[in-house]
Structure 1
Amino acid sequence: MVETEENTDFSRTTAILSCFTLSVVYVASLYIWNSPYHREHNETIKKRFLSAFIMMFVSPLFVYFGISRSMLQKTTIWELLGIKLVGLFQAAVLPLLLTMILFLGPLSVQALNGPWKLYAAPMHSTKNIRSLIWWRNRIVAPLSEEWTFRACMLPLLLECYKPTTAIFICPLFFGVAHFHHVIEMIRAGVKFQDALKLCSFQFVYTTLFGAYAAFLFAKTGHYIAPFTAHAFCNHMGFPDLTEVLACKDPARRKILLSLFFAGVIGWCSLLTPMTNPAWFSNKLFWHIDPL
């Protein structure tokens, strides 16, 4: 029994160190380029795209060499990373719908104020496709971050921790990784105290989102589930009530506020049912639902 506990402790230490190293390597890959430009400059974005592409190949190595041989005998490396055809459609659609329910309030504000009509405009789509910032925020960042911080970290953690524990450990690496923005803000002229406050706030909501994304990966067993949720959240941005509170029509303001609350309540109510592992044929990461 003592030997088993020692082996478990060793596995947990190895998993934590692997995840920490992986997060450091990911952030470091963004700064290996000696670029004189800010993060929004096309040259900086292009170089970081290359870093993200390289990390797509480097990150799985941590899983392959960090996971136990017995686990690799039971399943393939691709299944561990959440790449499989069984349940793919459900994993691509249901978590996205669930996330849209959470954003019912912001989506309603957009519907009333007209941005949805803008999305349908050909010029708007053409402008986005040509924008490297759009590609970074909606495609490349969600793709590479979910690959590294969920698909390549969670298999290591889930092998030695209960799913609920792993889900709360994993996003800490994701949240802390965003503190590198302090460096960029200071370079842009922002005071250290202000940069630290902004990044601390970013740490809170990225960690919360990271827990949600980790939950989606563990419950569905699919990489595409947290990716679609991440891409949608990046598109929507952080929910802002300012526009609602500034609404001059009291009736409309009450309706919009109620939709914000309805979205949160609906999301909480549907979170477990819409991520039932059986719907995604997921027997790898969630054998017994502890919730």
Structure 2
Amino acid sequence: MDDISPFDYLSFISTIIICLTFSIVYVLGLYVLSPSSRRYERNHPHVISRRFFAVFIVCSLIYLFLKHTCNPNININTWLGFRTNISSIWILFFYPTVLTLLLYFGPIIQWIDLFDWKYYKYNWKYCLVYHNTNDTLIFIRNYLVAPFTEEFVFRSSILCLLYSHVSLFSAIFLSPLFFGLAHFHHMLEHFKQNHHEKHHRLSAMTIILIHLFQFSYTYIFGVYSSFLFIRTGHFIPSFIIHTLCNSLGIPDFMNLIDMNDGQRKRKLVYMICYIIGLWLFSTNLYSLTQSNFYYSNDSSIVIYRHWSS
């Protein structure tokens, strides 16, 4: 098979400009195609539903652009991770989930220990049954629409463009920059929300630091997701771990740091669990992402065969 890629006719500068354009268009679509976002906060049901429509339009336009501008001998769907030569559908879900849960082993133990089980015992019916429409929309946004559209734009599409000009190693660390920068629009929303706060208003520097930390966390996640996308050659694993990480959230390091001397043993247990989780994750990172687990045959394209070790 010839070593060709979908956009090798583009210059490196043109590729970066297109990647930046994708990022900007994705974010602008949330505001331009959702005028109500200027009047209401992001969790308002009208804003959420309009933004569903906006990201659908943006992703459709990006897909059409990629499909009609790639090299004619390329199957763009394959390069975007929508592959048909799947060895087993459950592997696409199971292995990435296990790998991510290993990484979160420490935070999960910490959460189980600190969870208010007594409250849940007496309120489980309310927690499971009594949800309004807005709760459902927020759930769909956080765990379905946002992970799917963000992975399509910032993982599938941008990696597909970058591979023509940079090594796979460089692409893994370059593509999350676009993903992280795109999240800075949340800082503008935070400033807007903070402006209307009467009692618990934060300083501008505090808000900036919060979102710089969010950028760092988002970037690290992006590196992991990009690695997984390239190693497996499929879109689903990146989508699954994005949904899972949105659900698990950021590890509660502050709780760990703030534990007093009376909780020294508990703190030590948490720290050991964090270390065990990192060790299990690192030792299984390559073994659980071997390409032969995910392909039904050896017809994988060049970008994925390169990583099939």
After TM superposition, is the score higher than 0.5? Answer: yes
- Answer yes or no: is 1:17 the counterpart of 2:17: yes
Secondary structure of the residue that 2:35 maps to in structure 1? Answer: coil
**Aligned counterparts of 1:263 and 1:122: Cα–Cα separation in 2:** 33
**Counterpart mapping for 1:167-206 below 5 A:** 167-188=172-193, 189=195, 191-206=203-218
Query: Quick check: 1:52–1:144 contact (8 Å CA) kept in 2?
Result: yes
Task: Tell me how far 1:148 sits from its aligned partner.
Answer: 1.0
Deviation per CA, 1:28-87, whole angstroms, max 9, x where unpaired?
0001122200112222112111112222312212322343224x1xxx222122112414
Counterpart in the other structure of 2:274: 260
Counterpart in the other structure of 2:64: 61
Task: Tell me how far 1:92 sits from its aligned partner.
Answer: 1.7
1:9–1:67 Cα change, 3 Å: closer
Secondary structure of the residue that 1:229 maps to in structure 2? Answer: helix
Deviation per CA, 1:126-176, whole angstroms, max 9, x where unpaired?
356841222221221111111111112111112332211111111110011
Query: Quick check: 2:105–2:277 contact (8 Å CA) kept in 1?
Result: yes
| Structure 2 residue identity aligned to 1:162 | S
| Structure 1 residue identity aligned to 2:265 | A
**Counterpart mapping for 1:123-142 below 5 A:** 123-127=126-130, 130=133, 131=135, 132-142=137-147
**Counterpart mapping for 1:24-35 below 5 A:** 24-32=24-32, 33-35=34-36
TM-score between the two structures when normalised by the length of structure 2: 0.82
- Answer yes or no: is 1:82 the counterpart of 2:88: no
Secondary structure of the residue that 1:258 maps to in structure 2? Answer: helix
Counterpart in the other structure of 2:42: 39
Query: Quick check: 2:8–2:164 contact (8 Å CA) kept in 1?
Result: no
Task: Tell me how far 1:220 sits from its aligned partner.
Answer: 0.7
**Counterpart mapping for 1:217-256 below 5 A:** 217-245=229-257, 246=259, 248-256=262-270
Counterpart in the other structure of 1:215: 227
**Aligned counterparts of 2:90 and 2:148: Cα–Cα separation in 1:** 17
TM-score between the two structures when normalised by the length of structure 1: 0.86
**Aligned counterparts of 1:127 and 1:226: Cα–Cα separation in 2:** 31
Query: Quick check: 2:176–2:219 contact (8 Å CA) kept in 1?
Result: yes
Task: Tell me how far 1:125 sits from its aligned partner.
Answer: 3.4
1:10–1:143 Cα change, 3 Å: closer
1:13–1:62 Cα change, 3 Å: farther
Gaps of 5+ in 1: 1-6
| Structure 1 residue identity aligned to 2:93 | A
Secondary structure of the residue that 2:165 maps to in structure 1? Answer: coil
| Structure 2 residue identity aligned to 1:220 | T
**Aligned counterparts of 2:224 and 2:93: Cα–Cα separation in 1:** 15
1:161–1:112 Cα change, 3 Å: same
1:122–1:161 Cα change, 3 Å: farther
79-88 or 199-208: bigger deviation: 79-88
Deviation per CA, 1:201-248, whole angstroms, max 9, x where unpaired?
211111111111111111111111111101111111111133345374
| Structure 2 residue identity aligned to 1:194 | T
Deviation per CA, 1:268-287, whole angstroms, max 9, x where unpaired?
11111111112112822222
**Aligned counterparts of 2:146 and 2:246: Cα–Cα separation in 1:** 9
145-154 or 187-196: bigger deviation: 187-196
Gaps of 5+ in 2: 1-6, 196-201
Deviation per CA, 1:170-193, whole angstroms, max 9, x where unpaired?
111001111112221221125543
Secondary structure of the residue that 2:305 maps to in structure 1? Answer: coil
Superposition RMSD in Å: 2.7
| Structure 1 residue identity aligned to 2:254 | T
**Aligned counterparts of 2:226 and 2:128: Cα–Cα separation in 1:** 31
**Aligned counterparts of 1:92 and 1:59: Cα–Cα separation in 2:** 26
Query: Quick check: 1:92–1:225 contact (8 Å CA) kept in 2?
Result: yes
Secondary structure of the residue that 2:183 maps to in structure 1? Answer: helix
Query: Quick check: 2:100–2:281 contact (8 Å CA) kept in 1?
Result: yes
**Aligned counterparts of 1:34 and 1:206: Cα–Cα separation in 2:** 27
